[in-house]
Amino acid sequence: MIFSFYTFFDKKQSPNRGNSINFCCTSQLYSDVTHISGGLRGGKMFHFIQILAALPVKILFPTKIIGKQNLPKGPCIIVSNHTSNTDSVLMIVNTWEKKYFLAKKELFKNKLFGWFLKKMGAVKIDRQSSDLQAIKTSLKLLKDGKKLVIFPEGTRTNNENMQLGEIKHGASMFAIKARVQLVPMFISRRPKLFKKTKIYIGKPFELSEFYGKKLDNDTLQSASQIITEKMNELHDNAYNSLTKKQ
């Protein structure tokens, strides 16, 4: 295994803090990993990593997906509540088809980790500005028949009963521009080690009444309200099911 042949940390004395740790071999490791994986392109690389990660992830974070049959064939936008950075991993491991995720640019600072994220379907986005490149990339993915996962709250929330916070307009804008279906998803809890997490997938819906309209703030607000209602409906059904079984 290539990770066994590298020393990741170089301990050097710091006059202020004793031993400091530098990631001295990240660039070399990145070069070797990308070279060795060069024969695995696109979906093959994704499924290779997916298979390797499946067993440990499923043991550490057991997950049950309810309503998987609701995922349509072809392009769609999956809109989900966001509980932790593990959310995307659970989706990757527990559904076979490759999906693409919008991920904050800060996660790509490390070159090796950024490469890994891209291989797993992450699309880098700057949340502090109108990221035109991320918008173009996302619309092209949908046009090419891919599935895009968006956490429309724009941040992680773990309030009581996993209530949905205010959602941003990005999901509605993408769905209207690309004219694709949306699929609501609800993650029942913040994933914890060896505790089962349930993920509910609702029935797809469209925002066809907004197709061809000018995408001003009022239009996007109305469209986002429909998304909110569909996500809350799934949340309520899922939560009622969970509480009945307790």
Question: pLDDT digit string (tens) for 147-193?
Answer: 999 999 988 877 667 788 899 999 999 999 999 999 999 999 899 99
Q: Which single residue is written with the structure tokens 């992680």?
A: 156
Structure tokens at 71: 């995922």
Domain segments of the chain as ranges: 29-245
Distance CA 10, CA 196 (A): 38
Considering the entire predicted model, what is its pTM?
0.80
Q: Is the pLDDT of residue 23 over 70?
A: no
Higher-confidence residue: 31 or 245? Answer: 245
Q: Is the pLDDT of residue 211 over 90?
A: yes
As a CATH number, domain 29-245 is 3.40.1130.10
Amino acid at site 232: N
The mean pLDDT of 39-60, rounded to a whole number, is 83
The mean pLDDT of 70-74, rounded to a whole number, is 95
Q: What is the pLDDT of residue 115?
A: 87
The mean pLDDT of 105-130, rounded to a whole number, is 87
Q: Is the pLDDT of residue 224 over 80?
A: yes
Q: Is the pLDDT of residue 21 over 70?
A: no
Closest CA to 9 of 21, 26, 27: 21
Q: What is the pLDDT of residue 143?
A: 97
Q: Which of the four pLDDT bands, split at 50, 70 and 90, describes residue 54?
A: very high
Q: Are strands 18-23 and 9-14 parallel, antiparallel or unpaired?
A: antiparallel
Distance CA 91, CA 187 (A): 10
Q: What is the pLDDT of residue 41?
A: 53
Alpha helices in the chain (DSSP H): 26-36, 42-60, 86-94, 111-119, 132-143, 170-178, 217-245
Question: 80-98 burial, b if ≥16 CB within 10 A, otherwise e?
Answer: bbbbbebbbbbbbbbbeeb
- Report the percent of the chain where pLDDT is more than 70: 80
Q: Is the pLDDT of residue 233 over 90?
A: yes
